[in-house]
Amino acid sequence: MSLRDGLQPFPSLRQAYRNRIERGEISRDPAQETVAAALDRLIEEIATRRLAAKSSSLGWLFGRKRQAKASVKGLYIHGGVGRGKTMLMDLFFELIPVRRKRRAHFNDFMADVHDRIGRHRAAVKAGEAKGDDPIPPVAQALAAEAWVLCFDEFSVTDIADAMILSRLFSALFDQGVVLVATSNVAPDDLYRDGLNRPLFEPFIGILKRHADILHLDAHTDYRLDKLSRVPVYMSPVSDETERAFDAAWTDLVNGSAEHREEILVKGRHVPAPRVVRDAARFTFSELCRKPLAARDYLAIADRFRTVFLEHVPVMDDSTRNEAKRFILLIDTFYDRKVRLVATAEAPPEKLYRGRTGAEAFEFDRTASRLVEMQSEEWRDRLTEQVPEPRPVS
């Protein structure tokens, strides 16, 4: 029996996990059960530490027994995409018996950190605050708001983030913050091949000292398995196909919050307006009517394993530029094994009606690939291991 709010019982994460199995929502997975047990142990330690901090006779008693112990050590869970890390994080966050907790996408958290740094520097310049180093006060404020920090899809690709992580998290851990994170990447592979990586590497040691590292070695990609049961090329565009497309996206998102990302490509930013973990949703206009090039599509393919693409129109001689970009986009996704889910005005073989230029011939290859990307053989290929996202310079 566990304790919530000091005295009230609450179910363990393993109980919640088993309930999902019994309801038929998921299948039993021994690797997931191992992670669930580790998260339960962490919940117990957090609950006990919370009791120790309470100004009650029970809290005082626990505090006397545990005051010499080190701060709570968090968890860093890494493994392939679609292995159930987000589901386990959802259960964990719901069951943590503390109010001061925060769950965030790591990119959103770091954007908040940079905003706070900017505000502190502005306050110092205006004479409203003291101290040239913004990291200590920012860390103190963050710790005051949440002493359990949960990050889903922890990934470092931005040099501005990489350069401050060691000092930021050293300060957060000094404040007693507990970190729980999921990632597709093992700690030693974070910010791999990133600019000035030696300046980032001390963070890896800090992370290992303050979080146990756990590999979720499950063999089934549950998100791709679920997605494989729905059509991935839907035409023509209609209310019915729009609903099916939205339902497939909702199924993939599974309750996670969407966020916006800016993918850095040679000093330029390519916006990804709707992102959840390693999946993104774009319109045809966003990817093919804007002046994007091969390097941009490569960056998108390296960042996302699944792309939802809406409203692919029928193209002709008047839209040759859009057709060229679409051909390049599909070639890139095909080569990089990106799962594409699309709505289109026509079947692949009828998407291009132009009669002049090379596009008329090249589009035959595009149509053939779009057909292949709907096949079971293609879906089987997507289960192969793919490279982890890398920093884009």
Q: What is the pLDDT along the chain (393 residues), one digit of tens a residue?
A: 344 444 334 478 988 888 888 887 777 888 888 899 999 999 999 988 877 666 444 444 444 444 434 579 999 998 876 677 888 888 899 898 888 999 988 877 888 999 999 999 999 888 888 888 999 999 999 999 999 999 987 888 778 888 899 999 999 999 999 999 998 788 998 888 788 888 899 999 999 999 999 988 755 555 555 555 567 889 898 999 999 899 889 888 877 778 888 888 877 889 999 998 889 999 999 999 999 988 899 899 988 989 999 999 999 989 989 999 999 999 899 888 898 999 999 999 899 988 776 777 788 888 888 888 887 777 666 655 444 444 444
Q: CB–CB of 168/137 below 8 Å?
A: no
Task: With respect to residue 114, please indicate whether it lies within any of the assigned structural domains.
Answer: yes
pLDDT of residue 5: 40
Residues 199, 226 within the same domain: no
Domain shared by 61 and 185, yes or no: yes
pLDDT for res 216: 84
3-state secondary structure of 264: strand
CATH number of the CATH domain containing 355: 3.40.50
The CA distance from 244 to 223, in Å, is: 16
In a domain, residue 6? The reply is no
Residue 184, burial from CB neighbour count under 10 angstroms (0-12, 13-18, 19+): buried
pLDDT of residue 232: 81
Do 360 and 281 lie in one domain? The reply is yes
* Same-domain check for residues 40 and 152: yes
**Which of the listed residues 197, 215, 233 is the one where a domain comes to its end?**
215
User: Could you tell me the CATH number of the domain that includes residue 57?
Assistant: 3.40.50.300
Residues 269, 311 within the same domain:
yes
Question: Could you give the number of structural domains in the chain?
Answer: 2
Q: Is 393 contained in some domain? A: no
Does residue 391 fall inside a structural domain?
Answer: no
Q: Are residues 283 and 242 in the same domain?
A: yes
56 and 125 within one domain: yes
Would you state the pLDDT for residue 227?
Answer: 52
In a domain, 89, yes or no: yes
Distance CA(390)–CA(393), nearest Å, equals 9
The answer as to whether 4 is a domain residue is: no
- Helices 359-372 and 320-335: crossing angle in degrees, nearest 10, is 40
Query: Contact, 107 vs 262, CB < 8 A?
Result: no
Regarding whether 284 and 181 lie in a shared domain, the answer is no
Domain closes at, from 215, 249, 270 = 215
Q: Find, among 75, 109, 100, the residue nearest to 89 by Cα.
A: 75
- Are 113 and 179 members of one domain? yes
Residue 267 and residue 191 share a domain: no
- Residue 386 belongs to a domain: no
- The verdict on residue 333 lying in a domain is yes
Work out the burial of residue 373: count CB atoms within 10 Å of its CB; fewer than 13 is exposed, 13-18 middle, 19 or more buried. buried
Q: Which of 215, 232, 264 is the last residue in one of the domains?
A: 215
What is d(CA 51, CA 64) in angstroms, rounded to the nearest whole number? Answer: 11
Cis previous bond, 11, omega within 30: no
Is there a single domain that holds both residue 52 and residue 163?
Answer: yes
Range(s) of the domain holding residue 311: 222-381
The pLDDT, as a whole number, for residue 55 is 47
Looking at residue 381, its pLDDT comes to: 66
Note whether 201 and 229 are same-domain residues. Answer: no
